[in-house]
C-alpha cells in the first residue's frame, strides 16, 4: 500500500497500530500524542523528516526491516520502547532532549539480525539528553559519518528484580563521541570496533574516538579494537573495568587523562601501539600482565594498590621515558617479580644513560654506566662479561708481550710460551712477570710494560667482577 496523505496514514495508525509492506511517500510526517503502540514492518519511507514528538503515554514504536530516505527526529517524548531492527538505510537518527526535559525511553533497541559486514549503514546518529532504562545497540556496521552520545543516563540506581545491562556490542562504529554520560548499570562494549574516520568519507567529523567526562558503574571493553586513536578524558570508573584482550595495534594512541579507577582494572593481554596514562588514579589493583605495547607512558599517576606488570612487553623501549620505566620497575619489585624487575631495571639504566651528557656534571655517571654497558650490557649478561674479559685480557697481554720482546724477531714456535703466559696474566692476584718461568717481577726499567700490566689487571678484575654480579642478579 502507498500512503501519500498524512491524514490517511495517521488514521490507519490510530485504528490498527501496524503498517505492513507499505510505501510512505509523504515529505514530512509528525507522529504526536500517540495513544497506542505502533509498528512499521517492511516499509519504505520516502520522507525528509519523520518527527516523533509530544508523546507522553509510554507507547512503544517499532521499525522492522524498513528503508528510510530521510531522517528521524525524536523530541519531547516519554516512550516505553523504541526499536529499530534490520534497518537497511537511514540518513540520520536524532534523539534530542534538553537539560530541563530529557527524552525518556524505557527500552531502546537498535539491532541487526544478519551478518554485520553485509549491511553497512551510513547514518548520522546523535543522541543527547536522554534517559534510558535499557539500551541495546548491537551488531551494527556504522560506517559514518559520526556517532554522538552526550548527556545521557543509562540504567537506574534503584534495586532491580532481574539483572540488566547496557550494551554497545559487536559494532563497527565510526567517529564515536561519548561525553558526559552516566552509566548506572554494567555496560558492555564487547567485540566492537571504533574507528576515527571512515574510508567512505573524505571529511572527518571528529579526529579521534573520544570518551570524555563519563561515569561508569561497571564497564567491559573486552576484545574491543580502538582503530588508530582513542582518548579517555576525565572519566570516572566507579566499578570494575576490563580492557582484556583489547586491540589498538595500528598507528595511534590509547590515552587516559585524569581518569579515576575506583575498583579493579584489567588490561591483560591488550595489544596497543602507544599506551599513555597521565594524571590518573588507581585506587585498587590493576593488571597489565602479558600486555604488548610499542611505548608505555605513565606520567604522574597514583597507584594505591598493587599493579601487576608480569610479562609486559614494550617493543620500542627507547621511546619510553625513564620515569615510566622506574614506575614499572618499582611495582614489579612490590610483587617480588625478580625476572621482570631486572629487565626493567636494565631498561631504566639504559634510558638514564641516554639522558646523560658528556659534560662536567653528568660525565661521572655517564662513564660508570658506559663501562657497565660495555662489559655486560644493561641486562647483565655473563656471556658478554666473559667475552669482554677474555678479549681484553688477550689484548693487554699482547701489548705487554710486545713491550717485553720488541727487540726479538717473531717466532711462531714460541706460541706455547705465549699462551701459558696469557693464562697466567688472567690471574688478577698474580703480579709476577707472566713471561718468566719463576716468580720474577717485571723489570723496573720497562715503565710501559708496568703500565700495560696494571691496566690489564684492572680491566680483567672489572670483567670478572661484573660476570659474578651477572650470576647474582636473581639473588636478593
Return d(Cα 470, Cα 381) in angstroms, integer: 6
Query: Would residue 160 count as lying in a domain?
Result: no
pLDDT of residue 116: 65
Contact between 292 and 316 (Cβ < 8 Å): no
Write down which residue in 355, 388, 413 finishes a domain.
355
Residues 339, 396 within the same domain: no
pLDDT of residue 144: 79
Query: Would residue 78 count as lying in a domain?
Result: no
Residues of the chain with pLDDT below 50 are 161, 198-206, 407
pLDDT of residue 164: 65
Query: Would residue 112 count as lying in a domain?
Result: no
H or E element that contains 153: strand 153-154
Residues 343, 383 within the same domain: no
Query: Would residue 453 count as lying in a domain?
Result: yes
Q: How many residues are listed for the chain in this entry?
A: 476
| 260-269 LR contacts (CB < 8 Å, sep 24+) | 260/235, 260/236, 261/237, 261/286, 262/236, 262/237, 262/238, 263/218, 263/237, 263/238, 263/239, 264/240, 265/237, 265/240, 265/241, 266/240, 266/241, 266/242, 267/243, 267/291, 268/244, 269/244, 269/245
Residues 346, 383 within the same domain: no
Residues 369, 348 within the same domain: no
Domain hosting residue 443, numbered range:
363-471
- The burial class, CB within 10 Å (0-12 / 13-18 / 19+), for 192 is buried
pLDDT of residue 412: 52
pLDDT of residue 204: 43
Query: Would residue 45 count as lying in a domain?
Result: no
Residues 284, 382 within the same domain: no
pLDDT of residue 264: 96
pLDDT of residue 290: 94
16 backbone dihedrals φ, ψ, rounded to 5°: -110, -35
Residues 350, 401 within the same domain: no
pTM score of the predicted model: 0.80
In the chain, what percentage of residues exceed pLDDT 70? 90
Residues 437, 421 within the same domain: yes
Mean pLDDT of the chain: 86
Write down which residue in 355, 372, 400 finishes a domain.
355
Residues 371, 303 within the same domain: no
Residues 252, 298 within the same domain: yes
pLDDT of residue 201: 44
pLDDT of residue 205: 44
pLDDT of residue 435: 77
Residues 367, 255 within the same domain: no
Query: Would residue 86 count as lying in a domain?
Result: no
Residues 424, 374 within the same domain: yes
Query: Would residue 476 count as lying in a domain?
Result: no
Write down which residue in 322, 355, 388 finishes a domain.
355
Question: How many folded domains does the chain comprise?
Answer: 2
pLDDT of residue 234: 96
User: CA end-to-end span of the chain, whole Å?
Assistant: 83
Residues 327, 378 within the same domain: no
pLDDT of residue 343: 85
Query: Would residue 312 count as lying in a domain?
Result: yes
Amino acid at each position: 500500500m502507498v500512503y501519500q496523505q498524512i491524514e490517511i496514514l495517521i488514521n490507519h495508525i490510530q485504528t490498527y497500530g501496524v503498517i505492513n509492506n507499505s510505501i510512505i511517500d509523504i515529505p514530512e510526517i509528525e507522529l504526536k500524542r500517540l495513544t497506542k503502540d505502533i509498528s512499521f514492518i517492511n516499509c519504505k519511507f520516502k520522507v525528509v523528516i519523520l518527527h516523533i514528538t509530544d508523546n507522553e503515554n509510554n507507547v512503544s514504536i517499532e521499525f522492522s526491516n524498513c528503508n528510510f530516505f530521510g531522517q528521524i527526529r525524536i523530541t519531547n517524548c516519554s516512550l516505553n520502547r523504541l526499536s529499530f531492527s534490520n534497518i537497511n538505510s537511514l540518513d540520520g537518527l536524532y534523539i534530542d532532549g534538553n537539560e530541563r526535559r530529557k527524552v525518556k525511553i524505557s527500552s531502546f533497541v537498535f539491532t541487526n539480525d544478519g551478518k554485520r559486514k553485509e549491511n553497512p549503514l551510513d547514518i548520522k546518529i546523535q543522541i543527547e539528553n536522554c534517559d534510558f532504562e535499557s539500551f541495546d545497540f548491537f551488531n551494527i556496521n556504522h560506517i559514518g559519518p559520526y556517532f554522538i552520545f552526550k548527556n545521557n543516563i543509562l540504567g537506574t540506581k534503584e534495586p532491580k528484580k532481574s539483572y540488566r545491562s547496557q550494551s554497545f556490542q559487536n559494532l563497527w562504529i565510526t567517529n564515536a563521541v561519548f561525553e558526559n554520560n552516566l552509566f548506572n548499570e554494567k555496560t558492555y562494549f564487547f567485540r566492537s570496533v571504533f574507528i576515527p574516520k571512515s574510508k567512505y568519507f573524505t571529511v572527518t567529523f571528529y579526529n579521534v574516538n573520544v570518551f570524555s567526562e563519563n561515569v561508569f558503574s561497571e564497564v567491559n571493553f573486552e576484545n574491543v579494537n580502538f582503530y588508530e586513536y582513542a582518548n579517555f578524558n576525565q572519566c570516572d570508573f566507579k566499578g570494575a573495568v576490563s580492557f582484556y584482550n583489547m586491540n589498538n595495534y595500528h598507528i595511534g594512541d590509547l590515552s587516559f587523562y585524569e581518569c579515576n579507577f575506583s575498583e579493579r582494572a584489567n588490561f591483560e593481554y591488550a595489544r596497543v601501539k602507544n599506551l599513555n596514562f597521565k594524571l590518573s588514579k588507581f585506587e585498587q589493583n590493576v593488571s597489565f600482565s602479558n600486555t604488548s605495547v610499542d611505548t608505555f607512558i605513565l606520567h604522574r599517576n597514583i597507584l594505591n594498590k598493587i599493579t601487576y606488570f608480569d610479562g609486559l612487553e614494550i617493543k620500542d623501549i627507547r621511546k619510553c621515558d625513564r620515569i615510566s620505566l622506574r614506575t614499572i620497575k618499582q611495582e614489579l619489585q612490590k610483587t617480588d617479580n625478580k625476572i621482570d624487575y631486572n629487565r626493567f631495571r636494565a631498561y631504566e639504566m639504559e634510558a638514564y644513560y641516554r639522558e646523560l651528557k658528556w659534560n662536567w656534571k653528568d660525565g661521572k655517571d655517564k662513564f660508570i654506566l658506559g663501562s657497565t654497558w660495555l662489559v655486560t650490557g644493561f641486562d647483565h649478561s655473563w656471556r658478554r662479561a666473559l667475552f669482554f674479559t677474555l678479549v681484553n685480557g688477550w689484548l693487554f697481554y699482547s701489548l705487554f708481550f710486545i713491550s717485553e720482546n720488541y727487540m726479538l724477531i717473531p717466532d711462531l714456535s714460541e706460541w706455547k710460551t705465549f699462551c701459558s703466559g696469557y693464562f697466567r696474566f688472567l690471574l688478577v692476584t698474580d703480579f709476577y712477570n707472566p713471561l718468566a718461568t719463576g716468580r720474577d717481577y717485571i723489570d723496573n726499567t720497562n715503565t710501559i710494560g708496568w703500565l700495560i700490566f696494571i691496566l690489564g689487571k684492572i680491566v680483567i678484575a672489572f670483567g670478572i667482577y661484573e660476570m659474578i654480579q651477572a650470576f647474582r642478579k636473581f639473588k636478593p
